[in-house]
Structure 1
Amino acid sequence: MNKKYDVIIVGGGASGFFTAISLAEQNTDLKIAILERGKEVLSKVRISGGGRCNVTHACFIPNLLTKYYPRGERELRGPFHTFCTGDVIEWFEQKGIELKTEEDGRMFPVTDSSQTIIDCFVSEAKKLDIEVIQSCSVQHIFQNAEQWKLDTTQGAFLAENLVLATGSNPKVWEMLAGLNHEIIPPVPSLFTFNIKDSRIKELMGLSVEHVTVKVANSKLKATGPLLITHWGMSGPAVLRLSAWGARDLSEMKYRFQVHINWLNDKTFDDTLQELLTLKETHAKKNISKFSPFPIPGRLWEQLVLAAGISLDTKWSDTNKKQLVHLTHQLTDGVFSVDGKSTFKEEFVTAGGVDLKQINFKTMESKLFHNLYFTGEIINIDAITGGFNFQNAWTTGFIAAQAIANK
């Protein structure tokens, strides 16, 4: 026997729960179910932000907020004017959850625990009589007589409205392709660079605050902190570059060269002039013991060695050719990337339902009435910092509002 609901939401993650709760709050008469294929709900919320849940980012101006989305910048402008960061903060405050802002703008629950967010969603869903059905995998999706029918591992379900909030689920994308939805092929985003290089081999854990990273023979460029890891390079600068360059770097099969300016925006000429001045003013000091730039001493030593200068050399004993080599290392060091690694467990994908096939005033499919998309199932993704969750909350709210106000 078919189980019938007014709204079925497929996907028991952040966007699925937020959509369901927002919908039930706006229209208490609706019978709503969340279908989750896994044994647990909200598993990605649990591990996000290192287990603290990076709920959103303290950027409150919609047109500025969209700039953090390599895919979806234009489309999110309208939705963010409807439901933005301040609305998210207020939504959680009404549920008794206070958020705090860290120096870099990331926002977390004051408890520093993702369990706070999970408990909130689960208890709100229960309070609002939202049925949550776990271990329920959708096998087929059909539309007939203005109803959606879902064949699942727990039998058949019927609903007038269907919301897909399944994230990067290839099986659901395949079903949508069967319904003539165009799926932009998924590629990884937010990943770190695998680099084996003697200059950074012994520097694991070392970070540099202001670095510019460019991909050779492309327009891809990012600035920010860089972290050296045992497998290569990570940190905000690298993650931003991987997000903006997700598709290009995939086409390169993750084998490419990066040019690194360890001094951020300092030019070659200015840096060389500074080194030539130091040769005069610090003549008797060992070059390895005195770095004039805000980079860690251990990195400075490795760059000095890479320039062909021994560590016991005095500034006065260096020649111009050596200082030119050192300037190159500082402002335009070339490193070969050979592969990528996932950034923590927070796997983010670029790809999904083509944005042209979605009405962003309602999050409804342009091909089918009463079919809605929220979160990462669509071809929207952001850099790290709470922006992907903001997309989940905003698109979920927009879809909920559209269904509730029918």
Structure 2
Amino acid sequence: MRLVPFLGQPLALLLALLLAAGNAQAHLLNMSRSSVSLEADGSITAELTLDLLATAGSRESYWSWSQKSQPLADSTIAAALAPLPAALALTANGEPVSLTLAELRLPDASREEFLDPLGWPRSQLRLVGTLPESVRAPITLRITYLENFRFEEPIANTLIDAVSGRKQTRWLVTGQRSPAFVIPSMDSEATGAEPTVTNNMTDNAAEARAVFTDLFVTGFRHIFPDGVDHLLFVAALFFGSASFAGLVGIVTLFTLAHSLSLALTALGWFSAPAAIVEPLILLSILWVAIANLRGRARAHTRYPLVIFFGLIHGLGFASALRDIGLPADFLVTGLLAFNLGVEAAQVFFLLDLGILGLLLPRLLSGDVKWKQLGSALVIIATLGIAVMRFF
């Protein structure tokens, strides 16, 4: 029987998505953020926003930590966070800057919010340090998050010249060194009293290119491999399409819809809580996949639903982008890059499915309805994700 040997290919594809869902945070709701600022007196402050769930060991322990009035005075918490300062390799003109954990502000949230599988309470940590005495202006700052920085990635990192107001924002992963951030002077009169980002057109262009690249990669990664639920929805659309033209039409509508809601939400014109958006995304996958099995795949009846579901998925994308934080000086560039990264990942996945679609009819026996088989696997994977997230 030709069915049995081949089942491994589509099954492996969708089961891989299911297994990935256990570790992937579909919308990067708990990614790390860091802001490192150099003051005129040489003092340095690093403000970190981190998900300490893995550090605490469980959601219950994380909530227990939040009940401490002076968390850093607790020996267990202090010991757990002791390695953190050494995980930030900050240098000024090539010389290491020593940082010390000075403050920990745990989330002010209820126990239910901590235990909610869709909730990702993040803590605020403040590290402080001082420039080495030998360092003189101009000062070049760089930072690397070492391998023992065991928190969520990517890390949205911002280096700030507190005197001039200049900033450099990059999205980093552990082991990746940030680009050089040069502070010409520590004198407020020399740099100008009015905060400014930069007047250098070359620097602006380089910064815009870097922001575009970083957010394009972030958008791609947000879908492939992290966006398991989105990939399953695209797979459901694929298995429900009667022709290539129909698939192009459906996917185009879906893309336009989620691009619209992504832009509106990222720009602050609309928002919806993740507790509502996440279940709706899973329901959208089930709806389309079940419709495939019931033979209700007529394009003209599906278009309104696909538009609606696209708007819902866009809200999910926007929650990730909002959480990352768009650079204020390159808002449109960042939004465009993230969306293009999302679309590139979507096209990449559709090409994979297209190859699968070319192979399936040849390898399966004639009586096997491979599109229904694929839709059934999508339903199984989606239900598995729902169980892991909500129970």
Do the two structures share a fold, i.e. TM-score over 0.5?
Answer: no
TM-score range, shorter chain: under 0.3
Q: Which has the higher contact order (CA 8 A, sep 6+)?
A: 1
Per the normalisation by structure 2, the TM-score is 0.23
The structure with more radius of gyration: 1
Bigger share in helix: 2
Bigger share in strand: 1
Per the normalisation by structure 1, the TM-score is 0.23
